[in-house]
A = this chain, B = another copy of it.
Amino acid sequence: MRIGLDAMGGDFGPKEVVAGAVAAREYLSNGDVIVLVGREDVVREHLGENDGCDGIEVYHAEQAIGMGESPVDALRTKPKSSIAVMTALHRHGELDACISAGNTGACVAAAQMGLRRLKGVHRPGISVLAPTFAGPLAICDCGANVNCRPINLYQYGVMTSVYMKAVCGIETPRVGLLSVGEEETKGNSLVKKSSELLRADPRVNFIGHVEGNDLLRDVMDVMICEGFVGNVVLKLVEGLGFGLIKGLHKQLAEAIPDQMPRVDEALGALARKYDFNQYGGAPLLGVDGIWFICHGASTHCGIQSAVREAIQFAHRGVNQQITEQLTGR
A166-188 vs B, Cβ < 8 Å mask (1 yes, 0 no): 00000000000011110101111
CB proximity to B under 8 Å, residues A227-257: 227-229, 231-241, 243-245, 247-248, 251-252, 254-256
State which of B181, B212, B231, B248 has its C-beta within 8 Å of the C-beta of A270. B248
Interface flag for A269 (CB, 8 Å) = yes
Q: Is the CB of B227 within 8 A of A189?
A: no
Interface flag for A92 (CB, 8 Å) = no
Q: Is the CB of B188 within 8 A of A213?
A: no
Q: Is the CB of B189 within 8 A of A147?
A: yes
Complex interface: chain B residues within 8 A of A181 (CB): 105
Interface flag for A215 (CB, 8 Å) = yes
Interface flag for A259 (CB, 8 Å) = yes
Task: Knowing A228-B188, A233-B232 are in contact, say whether A248-B248 is a contact too (CB < 8 A).
Answer: yes
Interface flag for A329 (CB, 8 Å) = no
Name the residue of chain B whose CB is nearest to the CB of A266: B255
Task: Knowing A180-B146, A228-B180 are in contact, say whether A236-B215 is a contact too (CB < 8 A).
Answer: yes
Name the residue of chain B whose CB is nearest to the CB of A147: B188
17 contacts between A and B (CB under 8 A): A146-B187, A147-B188, A178-B232, A187-B228, A211-B231, A211-B235, A212-B236, A213-B235, A213-B236, A213-B240, A214-B239, A228-B229, A229-B229, A233-B233, A240-B240, A244-B248, A244-B270
